[in-house]
Amino acid sequence: MIEYLGRETFDLVVIGGGITGAWIALDAAMRGLSVGLVEQGDFASGSSSRSSRFVHGGLRYLRYRHFSLVRESLRERGVLLRLAPHLVRPFPFLLPVYKGGRDSALLLRIGLTGYELLAGTLGIGRHRVRSKKDLMREEPALRADGLQIGLQYYDAVTNDARLTLTVLLGAIARGAAAANYVQAVSWEKAGGRVAAVNCREVTTGAELTVRGRVIICAAGPWTDELRAMSGASSILRPTKGVHIVVARESLHTESIIAFDWHGRSLFVVPAGRHTYVGTTDTDWRGDPNGVVAAAGDVAYLIEAANAFFNRRLTATDVTAAWAGVRPLVADEGSPTPSDVSRDYEILEGTPGVYAICGGKLTNGRSMAEALVDRVIEREGRYFAAKPARCRTGNVLLQGAIADFGRYRKRAVADLVEGWGMPEESAAHLVDTYGTQHARVLGAAGPDPSLLASVDDGSPELLVEAAHAAAHEMVVTLEDFMRRRSDLMFFGSGLDAGAASRVAGVLAHSLGWDDAEKHRQTAAYQLAAARVMAFRPEVSEVATQDR
């Protein structure tokens, strides 16, 4: 990929391998444009692996009258449910209504009806009223005192990092070149317009020039940093969001439960053997790379969960936490971070350079469509061939199949009966890789030991690491533990045993010698310590190691 990036002159060079850059690469490649993409870290290592993982219209944005954003996001939810049914799934959400709460049941029902109307034919069912008795039976962890009724509706959930990777792999399958750990450091001009991006290979320090007719910055929270290269002013109001993870036994819910905490909507989300709670929303001014869950963020989320559930969570119940930066576009009228619009903006600067920022994981596809349309309209004369119209709304992503529900049932049964696989692993494989799950298992080759779980009883299998090394551009141990798989946050990935077993598989597949394997394991342990830095004893270790 790196060699290809250095050799070609691309129609578009995309800086940033988050969800926005990935969709731009796929959209442009499908229209027949040549595309090169560089990502300074791992793909999706920015905001696109740190979200709440909802593919949603955003019910709460109705409060701010952001109707067109909600409508667009609901449409995109419908599109994604069709394009990637293995990765984007409908999920029940519940709004418990408490005496003295911010919104009355009537207001919430009006909001939900509006939400359903905005979704139109792409809606996922009508909301239902649940009595207190039903709620106490279905969600016994909810605080009973003051509970009046609940309103249940449907939205969708995903795995953000894998969705991003899947979109990007689709772009590569259509001829795009994409490399992770390649950082754009400056751009060159020729004849009054941009001509190339100067890059640095992060792992080796080698320099690389990627030539292009148009440059797109899809750099999320790093947008201001990149725009500053050409003297452009800053446009972002970045905000930090933290999620905490606890074991399912500590806090268990069947639906995603949304509740209001001092004017903010928080969510409790069941995720296999775990549950996560999020999110905070506070202004963030530092380096996006430096964002971590602080003790205060964790305490805030614990306090909120304890207020709405009959549990007494403490920081020791928190098994992991993740923090991200929302690349929001500054908007003068918004007093608090939660008020800032989640809409996106396309900016033009140096001739031939475009930037896109803001938006959501949910509407990355439509953002890419709008950007590529704009670029073709303004820059079409620089491209060798006339680009086609956008087709990303119609072509299934890798692993998708039309009747996924039926396919899933059969595939899981085949794995359980034919391969003797535990049902949890079988379901995990089919939900993660869709129709590609057999290819993943094929990466075991003649070595049956790779078909074992990463950790005793965990649904993830070692063979997934071998597959990711061969087909998913894994460079580091953390890439696999944190983004190709969910082991870091939802598995036993923070303990050294699981990481060491995965490092063994990656070392074999990627040709790491013992020194490199040791280096990778140490770097991962440091990253794991940063994830737990909110605990004072771990914070000390992370600081010493740094």
Q: Which of helix, strand or coil describes residue 344?
A: strand
Q: Pick between residue 13 and residue 400 the one whose CB is nearest to ligand FAD.
A: 13
Least distance to ligand FAD from the beta carbon of 296, Å?
Answer: 16
Please state, in angstroms and rounded to a whole number, the distance separating the CA atoms of residues 271 and 247: 10
Among positions 275, 279, 432, 453, the unique one binding ligand FAD when judged by CB under 6 A: 279
Place of tokens 């201001």: 224
* Count, residues in the chain: 546
Least distance to ligand FAD from the beta carbon of 254, Å?
Answer: 19
Q: Pick between residue 23 and residue 309 the one whose CB is nearest to ligand FAD.
A: 23
Site string for ligand FAD, 306-325 (x = CB under 6 A): ------------------xx
Tell me if 434 contacts ligand FAD by CB under 6 A.
no
CB atoms within 10 A of CB 536: 9
DSSP-derived letter for residue 140 is T
> CA angle, 406 as apex, 403 and 412 as ends, to 5°?
125
Q: Is 14 left (phi over 0), alpha (psi -120 to 50) or beta?
A: beta
Q: Pick between residue 368 and residue 444 the one whose CB is nearest to ligand FAD.
A: 368
Least distance to ligand FAD from the beta carbon of 87, Å?
Answer: 13
Q: Pick between residue 253 and residue 279 the one whose CB is nearest to ligand FAD.
A: 279
DSSP-derived letter for residue 397 is P
Tell me if 178 contacts ligand FAD by CB under 6 A.
no
Q: Pick between residue 180 and residue 398 the one whose CB is nearest to ligand FAD.
A: 180
Q: Which of helix, strand or coil describes residue 85?
A: coil
Using CB under 6 A as the binding criterion, the count of chain residues that bind ligand FAD stands at 38
Place of tokens 């061969």: 470
Tell me if 36 contacts ligand FAD by CB under 6 A.
no
Least distance to ligand FAD from the beta carbon of 381, Å?
Answer: 27
Please state, in angstroms and rounded to a whole number, the distance separating the CA atoms of residues 200 and 435: 36
Tokens representing residue 148 in the block: 């009046």
Among positions 327, 337, 352, 387, the unique one binding ligand FAD when judged by CB under 6 A: 327
CB 52 within 8 A of CB 269: yes
Among positions 152, 319, 341, 362, the unique one binding ligand FAD when judged by CB under 6 A: 362
Torsion angle (degrees, nearest 10) of CA 229, 233, 237, 241: 0
Q: Pick between residue 490 and residue 512 the one whose CB is nearest to ligand FAD.
A: 490
Least distance to ligand FAD from the beta carbon of 140, Å?
Answer: 26
Please state, in angstroms and rounded to a whole number, the distance separating the CA atoms of residues 539 and 13: 39
Q: Which stretch binds ligand FAD (CB under 6 A): 213-221, 294-302, 411-419, 469-477?
A: 213-221
Please state, in angstroms and rounded to a whole number, the distance separating the CA atoms of residues 458 and 159: 18
Q: Pick between residue 242 and residue 463 the one whose CB is nearest to ligand FAD.
A: 242
Site string for ligand FAD, 239-278 (x = CB under 6 A): --x-------------------------------------
Tell me if 218 contacts ligand FAD by CB under 6 A.
yes
Please state, in angstroms and rounded to a whole number, the distance separating the CA atoms of residues 269 and 243: 10
Tokens representing residue 79 in the block: 């599109």
CB 168 within 8 A of CB 148: no
Please state, in angstroms and rounded to a whole number, the distance separating the CA atoms of residues 135 and 253: 11
Radius of gyration of the chain (CA): 23
Please state, in angstroms and rounded to a whole number, the distance separating the CA atoms of residues 378 and 382: 9
Residue 419: phi and psi, rounded to 5, are: -105, -5
User: Which residues in 379-485 belong to E strands, given as ranges?
Assistant: none
Q: Which stretch binds ligand FAD (CB under 6 A): 39-47, 93-101, 127-135, 330-338?
A: 39-47
Tell me if 361 contacts ligand FAD by CB under 6 A.
yes
Tokens representing residue 14 in the block: 């995309």
Residues 6+ apart with CB under 8 A from 2: 179, 182, 201, 208
Least distance to ligand FAD from the beta carbon of 273, Å?
Answer: 21
Please state, in angstroms and rounded to a whole number, the distance separating the CA atoms of residues 478 and 502: 10
Among positions 10, 12, 17, 437, the unique one binding ligand FAD when judged by CB under 6 A: 17
Among positions 97, 167, 184, 505, the unique one binding ligand FAD when judged by CB under 6 A: 184
Site string for ligand FAD, 41-60 (x = CB under 6 A): x---xxxx-xxxxx------
Q: Which stretch binds ligand FAD (CB under 6 A): 37-45, 165-173, 440-448, 484-492?
A: 37-45
Burial of 311 (0-12, 13-18, 19+ CB in 10 A): middle
Q: Which stretch binds ligand FAD (CB under 6 A): 63-71, 215-223, 421-429, 535-543?
A: 215-223
Q: Which stretch binds ligand FAD (CB under 6 A): 166-174, 219-227, 293-301, 443-451?
A: 219-227
Tell me if 326 contacts ligand FAD by CB under 6 A.
yes
Among positions 38, 135, 268, 487, the unique one binding ligand FAD when judged by CB under 6 A: 38
Q: Pick between residue 93 and residue 512 the one whose CB is nearest to ligand FAD.
A: 93
Please state, in angstroms and rounded to a whole number, the distance separating the CA atoms of residues 369 and 126: 30
Tell me if 238 contacts ligand FAD by CB under 6 A.
no
Least distance to ligand FAD from the beta carbon of 45, Å?
Answer: 5
Least distance to ligand FAD from the beta carbon of 508, Å?
Answer: 28
Least distance to ligand FAD from the beta carbon of 441, Å?
Answer: 30
Angle between helices 536-545 and 514-531 (to 10 degrees): 140
Is there a cis peptide before residue 336, judged by omega within 30 degrees of 0?
A: no
> Footprint of ligand FAD on this chain (CB under 6 A)?
15-21, 38-41, 45-48, 50-54, 183-184, 218-222, 226, 241, 279, 324-327, 359-362
